[in-house]
């Protein structure tokens, strides 16, 4: 029997995502000036206030207040009527030094023997249903909000948008787990005040359906565009007015959107957040490495859909387990356990090996903190960091290295795939 599946995304102006972006901007700056920094930064945002907390071990010193303000302004919180802006908000820093009890479990005489920064399990997932091997409902949700943000910044086609927004997409699947059509699209976007609530709701709904959705469709391949039928149910700002938003409408915290950050509810999640954590924290680095494994296995044709789990004990260099679930879609005559064993032989999952293979000691994290950590293209960019204490650093870095299909040939050879 056909079934429905739903995923949601939130915009860069959502309070939780503001917090994530501030935390990752701090991490990037620490890594830019000291690549060996150990960082676990948390951020809270609320009406007119930002609170920074966490633990850091680094040889550099940062103007953390200024970094937070720059992130807030870049997102678009620049007006007093938002009750939260980069220029006027208070920024309180409660960041302190990392516990030596934790650090002694990570650092070793040689970097290759570096222990895991925490215990826990991390998951990676990939599916053939999209070109970027991501679940379709989440991919479309992300794209709706990215288009909405582009239109907000451009300002000519839609001139009333404010930074906070959410999107949700429901897709009907066949018994064979193939997307058939889009059933429902939900968009809630913050906006300027209108002179009439009735006119406001009609205008926003018209603009989302006639301007935003067509732009989203153009970003998708033809077979996905066909899923956008005239029968889609739209719920646009279903509660009505959405003028009060952002941190004034709802407090935001780092790490509260872990399903948005990963696979939209497909696959699984180990519970650990990503933003603000340096790569010695396997919550982040091993989740990226597991995605790298899953994506390369699917791209090589091992299976049409794969979930990879890896687990660690704090301070221990080797993972305690590697698990694979192909959901019955394997294209090789091997059990999931045998596939997991081969994957563990191909991909070194020791913490330092992950850091080195995926180049995770670079300042590459701010770009991950909105619209998902997975599914984006791996590209090289130049980034500039300036500090009143450390001067200026310019670096070429490679973003989203875990999205590279750089192990497909090795996987095909290991699994005897043509």
Contacts 24+ apart (CB under 8 A), 392-400: 393/32, 393/33, 395/32, 395/362, 395/363, 397/359, 397/362, 397/363, 397/364, 398/359, 398/362, 398/364, 399/364, 399/367, 400/364, 400/367, 400/368, 400/376
Q: Is 109 annotated as a binding residue?
A: no
Which of 137, 308, 349, 306 is CA-nearest to residue 227?
137
Q: Is 16 annotated as a binding residue?
A: yes
Q: Is 111 annotated as a binding residue?
A: no
Task: Judge contact between 51 and 66, C-beta under 8 A.
Answer: no
Q: Is 359 annotated as a binding residue?
A: no
DSSP codes of every residue in 195-260:
S-HHHHHHHHHHHIIIIIHHHHHHTS-HHHHTT--TT-EEEESTTS---S-HHHHS-EETTS-HHH
Q: Is 143 annotated as a binding residue?
A: no
Q: Is 166 annotated as a binding residue?
A: yes
Which of 114, 123, 390 is CA-nearest to residue 278?
114
Q: Output b/e per residue, 33-62; b: 16+ Cβ within 10 A.
A: bbeebbbbbbbbbbeeebbbbbbbbbeeeb
Task: Judge contact between 139 and 130, C-beta under 8 A.
Answer: yes
Q: Is 165 annotated as a binding residue?
A: yes
Task: Judge contact between 408 and 300, C-beta under 8 A.
Answer: yes
Give 363's strand partners. Answer: none
3-state SS assignment for residue 68 = helix
Q: Is 250 annotated as a binding residue?
A: yes
Q: Is 400 annotated as a binding residue?
A: no
Q: Is 36 annotated as a binding residue?
A: no
Sign of CA dihedral 264, 267, 271, 276: negative
Task: Judge contact between 285 and 355, C-beta under 8 A.
Answer: yes
Q: Is 176 annotated as a binding residue?
A: no
Characterize the bridge pairing of strands 49-57 and 90-97: parallel
Q: Is 281 annotated as a binding residue?
A: yes
For 102, the token pair is 């934790």
Q: Is 215 annotated as a binding residue?
A: no
Q: Is 164 annotated as a binding residue?
A: yes
In angstroms, the CA 254 to CA 258 distance is 10
Task: List, as residue ranges, the binding site for Mg(2+).
Answer: 16
Task: List, as residue ranges, the binding site for ATP.
Answer: 14, 164-166, 241-242, 250, 256-257, 273, 277
Task: List, as residue ranges, the binding site.
Answer: 14, 16, 42, 55, 98, 164-166, 241-242, 250, 256-257, 273, 277, 281
Task: List, as residue ranges, the binding site for K(+).
Answer: 42
């Amino acid at each position: 029997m056909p079934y429905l599946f739903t995923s949601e995304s939130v915009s860069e102006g959502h309070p939780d995502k503001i917090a994530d972006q501030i935390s990752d901007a701090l991490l990037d700056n620490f890594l830019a000036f000291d690549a060996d920094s150990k960082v676990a930064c948390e951020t809270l945002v609320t009406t007119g206030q930002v609170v920074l907390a966490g633990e850091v071990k680094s040889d550099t010193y940062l103007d953390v207040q200024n970094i937070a303000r720059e992130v807030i302004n870049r997102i678009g919180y620049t007006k007093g009527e938002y009750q939260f802006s980069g220029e006027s908000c208070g920024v309180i820093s409660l960041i302190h030094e990392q516990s030596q009890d934790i650090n002694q479990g990570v650092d070793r005489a040689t970097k290759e023997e570096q222990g895991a920064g925490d215990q826990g399990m991390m998951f990676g997932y990939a599916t053939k249903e999209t070109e970027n091997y991501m679940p379709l409902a989440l991919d479309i949700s992300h794209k709706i909000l990215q288009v909405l943000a582009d239109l907000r910044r451009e300002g000519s086609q839609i001139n009333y948008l404010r930074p906070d927004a959410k999107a949700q997409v429901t897709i009907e699947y066949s018994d064979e787990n193939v997307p058939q059509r889009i059933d429902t699209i939900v968009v809630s976007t913050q906006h300027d005040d209108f002179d009439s609530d009735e006119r406001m709701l009609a205008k926003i709904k018209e603009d989302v359906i006639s301007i935003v959705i067509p732009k989203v469709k153009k970003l998708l391949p033809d077979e996905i565009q066909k899923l956008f039928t005239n029968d889609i149910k739209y719920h646009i700002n279903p509660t009505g007015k959405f003028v009060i938003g952002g941190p004034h409408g709802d407090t935001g915290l780092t790490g509260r959107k872990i399903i948005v950050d990963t696979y939209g509810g497909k696959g699984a999640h180990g519970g650990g957040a990503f933003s603000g954590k340096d790569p010695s924290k396997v919550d982040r680095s091993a989740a990226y490495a597991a995605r790298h494994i899953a994506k390369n296995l699917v791209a090589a044709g091992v299976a049409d859909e794969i979930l990879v789990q890896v687990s660690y004990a704090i301070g221990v260099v080797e993972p305690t387990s590697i698990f694979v679930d192909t959901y019955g879609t394997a294209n090789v005559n091997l059990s999931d356990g045998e596939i997991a064993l081969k994957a563990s032989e191909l991909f070194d999952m020791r913490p330092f090996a992950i850091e080195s293979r995926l180049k995770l000691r670079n300042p590459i994290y701010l770009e991950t903190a909105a619209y998902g950590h997975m599914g984006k293209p791996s590209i090289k960019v130049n980034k500039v960091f300036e500090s009143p204490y450390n001067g200026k650093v310019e670096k070429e870095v490679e973003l989203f290295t875990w999205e590279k299909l750089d192990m497909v040939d090795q996987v095909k050879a290991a699994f005897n795939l043509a």
